[in-house]
Structure 1
Amino acid sequence: MKTSKRLDQALQKLYTAFHNNTLNPECCKQCAVGNICDGTDSWKHLSNGHGMFQLSYVGRVHQSLGRRFNGYTPLELLNIEAEFLKGCGYTLPLHHKNAKPKNPTDKETLFGGLAAAIAYLCKLEGISNVMDPADLLRKAKAVNPQVEAEV
């Protein structure tokens, strides 16, 4: 499957962050979008709060000018982060009264967020989810017909 440069780079950054324990949903530099944006928190000015779906004035200006950050528009970045946070178990927007996971940096929690963010990234590209187990099994079976017998 051919993927775009922006998707390849985002996947590499997210997988690296997950495996290096530098993925943290409560840190603007280490969350999904923070990692996609090379460990910076400048993206947080695109909205009025972490986990919010609406662009701030600054975000609307960048969006209307067609600006992209590592290939993604401001609105796409907010949605990527929202999917990541929801996948981790947060109720959005982030607020001390809203639900959140007991241990936000637990590998299982982070994997849920990673899977949700990657599913959304693939949807943006118009391709099937690269983490979909059924799709992976179909591809494996196409290469080796005995895969089904082994599964």
Structure 2
Amino acid sequence: MKTTPRFDAAISKLYNAFYNNTLNPDCCKQCAVGNILDNTDSWKHLADNHGALQLNYIGNVHQTLGRKFNGYSPIELLKIERVFLKACGYQLPLHYKNRKPENPTDTNVLFNGLSDVIELLCKLDNISNVMDYKGLFKHKLKESDSICIK
């Protein structure tokens, strides 16, 4: 499967963060986008509300100028973070009164978040979902195969 350099870099960083226990949806430097952007939090200034898809003035300026952050536009970064937070069980936009997972760093919670992020990254780069395992179980029956039902 042919992928893009930005996809490969993002997947590598997310994989390492997951397995090194440095993926944390409560931290702007250790969330999905924070890890993609080399553990920086400057991306959080692209929107006024964490988890929102509306760029603020700074975000719109970067978007209009065609600025990319490790290959991703400001709106793409907001989409990635939104998908990650929602899949981890957060009610968006983030607010102390809104619902959040009981244990945000639980591996099952993080895996759900990463699975949805990887699906989105694949869509953004027009490639097949690398997390889609259904193809592994496809099997065509031949005429000589028989199914025994009791």
TM-score by length of 1: 0.89
Q: CA RMSD in A?
A: 1.1
- Equivalent residue number for residue 9 of structure 1: 9
1:83-106, CA deviations, whole angstroms, 9 ceiling, x for partnerless residues? Answer: 000110111111122111100000
Mapping of residues 73-84 of structure 1, within 5 Å: 73-84=73-84
Which protein is richer in helix relative to its size?
1
Q: Residues 4 and 137 of structure 1: is their aligned pair in 2 closer, same or farther, counting only changes over 3 Å?
A: farther
After TM superposition, the structure 1 stretch with the greater mean CA deviation from structure 2, 126-135 or 60-69, is 126-135
1:135 deviation in Å?
3.2
Q: Does 1:134 align with 2:140?
A: no
Corresponding residue of 2:96: 96
- Aligned partners of 2:136 and 2:70: how far apart in 1? 27
Output one character per residue of 1:118-142: Cα deviation in whole Å (capped at 9) or x when no partner: 110001011121111113445xx7x
Give the TM-score of the pair, scaled to structure 2.
0.89
| Distance in 1 (alpha carbons) for counterparts of 2:136 and 2:71 | 26
> For residue 28 of structure 1, what is the aligned residue in structure 2?
28
| Aligned 1:107-126 pairs, distance under 5 A | 107-126=107-126
Say if 2:85 is the partner of 1:85. yes
**Secondary structure of the equivalent of 1:45?**
helix
- Give unmatched runs, 5+ long, in structure 2: 140-150
Partners of 1:28 and 1:92 in 2: CA distance? 15
1:147 maps to what in 2?
none
| Matches of 2:136 and 2:12, distance apart in 1 | 18
1:41-80 paired onto structure 2 within 5 Å: 41-80=41-80
Dislocated runs of 4+, deviation >3 Å:
135-138
Partner SS, residue 38 of structure 2: coil
Q: The residue matched to 1:59 in structure 2 has which SS?
A: helix
- Give the Å deviation of 1:54: 0.7
